[in-house]
């Protein structure tokens, strides 16, 4: 039975739970067995809370909730009451959360059962999932390869069938890049769509958001529904929409508007094989009657703008940690915090003005297009031992963030963006397509993603029952 359940989608399980054909404990035991099977090879969920999950499943019983009792992973940047939360840092290696993050409270109240905490780079800094507490997380498609980050553990856990759903967060691509590397769906919502805890730093930060990770688009819509809604702890959090995202996805049949594709957004270099796979996937929208042209907005100044605003955020949130624990932090993190602390007022003003210009250009672009499509990562999964991508097509990157320009520049715009599986490289490694829509247009975004998902046929090819051990 466990193997059969692993093959089911979260939406299918929700229907079976509602019909009483399966129970939350059935799912918890199936998830726990799969975790025991693959974790020695992946290290995606280094902190497990199986007994807590079993107790939660018993308490849920046959209660009618949105998720109904579906096992879920929580990224180790969000606290779960009574469970170890390290933030991927030796500074907090023994920290046990006294309370749950507001997002965790929200999804648990909606029937998510937390199976464990997924691995993440230190404080979520970087697009490669490794840290000094738990080590490297490996890709279920090829365990010699990286899962990207910073939601790498969550994406690997979902791809490998350890759980059906997972939470992630995204500052510069931390939902979208690992989703691409693991052939799952990762959605960065409009800022404010999902409430966040604001325990320090910039409470009005709109660069970093929380979002869902799932095996297919409908499951991602389901988890997004379970995450959304206003909360007094987050001044940016907005009310849930009148119609659920899943219902809108299942109901809507109106034609989709025109789309644009760019292999590089004019801000990066992209591996030729990745560009070709993503271009083919983007053109699948034409089968749905969508006009697709090759163009993109002007992102002039976006890289410098993002680097400055990211550094400012790191300084605000981790400046005190640097003062007290410099020797425990990885060098890339020290560099990023110090960069933020060294920014002048003039540099911050320049960055904010650049962001405003980019947002205006993006708004004008969406007056003539419904979607912008591009790769979700500029390379296929790279070796697990590498800290970040240093070179592509002969172009070297100066720092550990530069290789994710293709996602980070989108973060500046406030637009929702989703990564969906587009295909595979000749070596059998996953490649993801990024789809962007105008702010607050998650429902429309999910529809476009589902169209591509149905035509690409990748969602049915996840490595659920066999891990390719190759290291």
Identify which of 340, 335, 302, 334 has the alpha carbon closest to the alpha carbon of residue 321: 334
Instruction: List the beta bridge partners of residue 373.
Output: 261, 435
Q: How many residues does the chain have?
A: 471
What token pair was written down for 327? Answer: 């020797």
Cα–Cα distance for residue pair 406/303, rounded to 1 Å: 9
Contacts of 74 (CB under 8 A, 6+ apart): 80, 104, 114, 116, 117, 118, 154, 166, 167
Cα–Cα distance for residue pair 162/84, rounded to 1 Å: 19
Cα–Cα distance for residue pair 199/366, rounded to 1 Å: 35
Q: Please tell me whether residue 213 adopts helix, strand or coil conformation.
A: strand
Cα–Cα distance for residue pair 32/50, rounded to 1 Å: 7
Identify which of 435, 427, 433 has the alpha carbon closest to the alpha carbon of residue 381: 427
- List residues with catalytic annotation: 75, 150, 174
Specify whether the CB–CB gap between 91 and 325 falls below 8 A.
Answer: yes
Cα–Cα distance for residue pair 187/183, rounded to 1 Å: 13
Contacts of 240 (CB under 8 A, 6+ apart): 225, 228, 229, 230
What token pair was written down for 244? Answer: 């659920």
Pairing of strands 185-188, 417-424: antiparallel
Q: Cα(first)–Cα(last) distance of the chain, in Å?
A: 31
Cα–Cα distance for residue pair 197/271, rounded to 1 Å: 37
Report how far apart, in Å, the C-alpha atoms of 228 and of each of 82, 394, 442 are: 24, 43, 12
Report how far apart, in Å, the C-alpha atoms of 243 and of each of 44, 153, 207, 250 are: 34, 31, 26, 11
């Amino acid at each position: 039975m466990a193997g059969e359940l692993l093959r089911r989608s979260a939406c299918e399980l929700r229907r079976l739970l509602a019909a009483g054909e399966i129970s939350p404990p059935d799912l918890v035991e199936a998830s726990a067995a799969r975790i025991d099977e693959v974790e020695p090879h992946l290290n995606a969920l280094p902190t497990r809370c199986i007994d807590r999950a079993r107790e939660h499943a018993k308490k849920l019983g046959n209660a009618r909730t949105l998720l109904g009792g579906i096992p879920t992973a929580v990224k180790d940047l969000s606290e779960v009451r009574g469970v170890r939360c390290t933030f991927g840092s030796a500074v907090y290696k023994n920290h046990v959360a006294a309370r749950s993050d507001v997002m965790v409270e929200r999804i648990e109240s909606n029937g998510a059962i937390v199976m464990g905490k997924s691995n993440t780079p230190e404080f979520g800094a970087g697009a490669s999932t490794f840290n000094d507490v738990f080590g490297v997380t490996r890709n279920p498609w090829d365990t010699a390869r990286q899962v990207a980050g910073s939601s790498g553990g969550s994406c690997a856990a979902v791809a490998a069938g350890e759980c059906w759903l997972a939470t992630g967060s995204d500052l510069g691509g931390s939902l979208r890049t690992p989703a691409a590397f693991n052939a799952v769906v990762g959605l960065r919502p409009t800022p404010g769509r999902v409430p966040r805890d604001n325990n320090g730093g910039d409470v009005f930060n709109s660069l970093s958001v929380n979002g869902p990770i799932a095996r297919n688009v409908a499951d991602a819509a389901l988890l997004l529904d379970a995450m959304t809604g206003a909360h007094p702890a987050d001044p940016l959090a907005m009310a849930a929409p009148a119609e659920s995202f899943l219902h809108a996805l299942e109901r809507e049949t109106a034609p989709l508007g025109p789309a644009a594709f760019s292999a590089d957004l004019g801000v990066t270099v992209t591996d030729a094989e990745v560009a070709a796979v993503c271009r083919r996937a983007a053109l699948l929208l034409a089968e749905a009657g969508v006009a697709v042209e090759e163009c993109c907005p002007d992102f002039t100044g976006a890289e410098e703008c993002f680097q400055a605003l990211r550094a400012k955020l790191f300084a605000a949130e981790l400046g005190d940690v640097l003062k007290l624990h410099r020797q425990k932090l990885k060098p890339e993190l020290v560099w990023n915090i110090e960069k933020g602390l060294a920014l002048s007022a003039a540099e911050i003003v320049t960055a904010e003005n650049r962001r405003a210009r980019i947002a205006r250009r993006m708004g004008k672009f969406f007056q003539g297009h419904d979607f912008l499509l591009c790769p979700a990562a500029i390379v296929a999964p790279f070796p697990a031992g590498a800290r970040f991508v240093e070179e592509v097509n002969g172009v070297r990157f100066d720092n550990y963030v530069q290789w994710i320009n293709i996602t980070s520049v989108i973060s500046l715009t406030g637009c929702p963006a989703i990564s969906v599986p587009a295909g595979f490289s000749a070596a059998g490694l996953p490649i993801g397509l990024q789809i962007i829509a105008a702010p607050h247009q998650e429902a429309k975004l999910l529809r476009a993603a589902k169209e591509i998902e149905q035509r690409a046929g990748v969602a049915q090819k996840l490595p659920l029952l066999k891990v390719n051990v190759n290291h």
